Chain A
Amino acid sequence: SQQGEEDPQALSIQEGENATMNCSYKTSINNLQWYRQNSGRGLVHLILIRSNEREKHSGRLRVTLDTSKKSSSLLITASRAADTASYFCATDSTGYSTLTFGKGTMLLVSP
């Protein structure tokens, strides 16, 4: 079963624009992670935010976490064509890094 639900399912933007993806989940969590996947291959870890954190930055990425609403958002600023990929949120409810993934958001960045 999948705990996280990403929104939107697909997003199409132009290079230079910002991309925002949202994730909702159902149960309490230890941390929430975002991953990127290119062309159905391996996932790349982007960022981890713990349940006691509200915001985290990494380069052009900004992640927020609202545990009261059980939701998170991933913002990619100044998007590039190379950002084209599927993005997944994954929740760790156990504290042992057993991740539950959502279905993902497909991001298309056009030059």
Chain B
Amino acid sequence: DAGVTQSPTHLIKTRGQHVTLRCSPISGHKSVSWYQQVLGQGPQFIFQYYEKEERGRGNFPDRFSARQFPNYSSELNVNALLLGDSALYLCASSPRTANYGYTFGSGTRLTVV
């Protein structure tokens, strides 16, 4: 059974550009969450989706948006990239939202120059 897959694995963008990160959850998992991890810090919550509806949003600016598709895959979009957006972006899935541990993907390393 495939784990959580994220694409691309690495990405270099220029300030002001837009980026789309993609995530495929484990088959049967309906909950997908996105986290940002800056070097030396723990992951910070960005979004959670369950059954294609947004269930939670972290303290991130409106430049960050996401959506979940009918097949439960998800996209994270970031507009007007800043140098500070450079980070590891992690996608995680779980069967449902309550009292379940997450399975994380290997992440997308985004570098903004």
Contacts and interface: CB of A to CB of B under 8 A. Distances in A.
Interface of A: 1-2, 4, 30-31, 33, 35, 40-45, 47-48, 50, 88, 90, 92, 94-104
Nearest to A103: B42
Contacts of B107: 41-42
B101 interface: yes
Given A1-B59, A50-B99, A97-B48, A42 B41 contact: no
Contacts of B99: 30-31, 48, 50, 92, 95, 97
Given A4-B42, A102-B42, A103-B42, A94 B102 contact: no
B90, B100, B102, most chain A CB atoms within 10 A: B102
Contact of A98 (B41, B42, B45, B101): B45
A45 B101 contact: yes
Interface of B: 4, 31, 33, 35, 37, 39-45, 48, 50, 55-56, 58-59, 88, 90, 92, 94, 97-107
A97 B44 contact: no
Given A1-B59, A95-B98, A101-B43, A42 B31 contact: no
Contact of B102 (A1, A30, A41, A99): A99
A96 B106 CA distance: 22
A103 B42 CA distance: 4
B53 to A, nearest CB: 12
Contacts of B102: 33, 43, 45, 97, 99
B41 A97 contact: no
16 contacts: A2-B44, A4-B42, A30-B98, A40-B88, A43-B90, A43-B104, A45-B103, A48-B101, A88-B43, A96-B48, A97-B94, A97-B97, A97-B99, A99-B43, A99-B45, A103-B40
Given A42-B105, A98-B58, 19 more contacts: A2-B41, A2-B42, A33-B101, A35-B104, A41-B88, A42-B90, A43-B92, A45-B104, A88-B43, A95-B99, A96-B55, A97-B94, A97-B100, A97-B102, A99-B102, A100-B45, A102-B42, A103-B41, A104-B42
